[in-house]
Amino acid sequence: AKNKSRGTICAAKTVSKAQIRSMDRLRQEIAIMRMMDHPNIIRLFDSFEDHRNIYLIMELCGGADLLDGIIEAGSFTEMQAATFMQQILRATYYMHENRVCHRDLKPQEFLFATKDPIGKNLLKLVDF
């Protein structure tokens, strides 16, 4: 999806209302995502809904998730591993400072921002 006002390409995630266990919980997650503003946390730009779905317009991450990155790379240098851990901890610290707990942190919840080489990439926490 393209954001006309920003002129940027965004990700559009469709969530079927039929698949949602708790609408209140989803709305709370959306509210949390809206208030997050950190370089290592995916940005939610907008959300809207119709009678069947809720649509989330988010920052686009073009890279793989961290688990796939680990598997593909086979190994990281100590410096790369330290950089990734630093990014993960910065995102976690930011959330905790804002009284938010993710409750499902794992490598699959972090995406590389781009398809650039791992050493030049930024991790983004996704899926609240």
Q: What is the DSSP string of 9-71?
A: EEEEEEEEGGG-S-HHHHHHHHHHHHH---TTBPPEEEEEE-SSEEEEEEE---S-BHHHHHH
Q: Are 32 and 25 in contact (CB under 8 A)?
A: no
CA 98 – CA 48 distance, rounded (Å) = 24
Of the listed 37, 104, 116, 127, which one is catalytic? 104
In this prediction, residue 3 carries a pLDDT of: 62
In this prediction, residue 2 carries a pLDDT of: 64
Q: What is the pLDDT of residues 29-66, one digit of tens each?
A: 999 999 999 999 999 999 999 999 999 999 999 999 99
Q: What is the pTM of this model?
A: 0.86
Domains in the chain: how many in total? 2
Choose one of 36, 59, 82: the last residue of a domain.
59
In this prediction, residue 33 carries a pLDDT of: 94
104 is catalytic: yes
Q: Which residues of the chain have pLDDT under 70?
A: 1-6
Choose one of 59, 78, 97: the last residue of a domain.
59
Burial class (CB in 10 A: 0-12, 13-18, 19+), 1: middle
- Claim to verify: residue 20 and residue 53 sit in the same structural domain: yes
In this prediction, residue 118 carries a pLDDT of: 79
What range defines the domain where residue 74 resides? 66-125
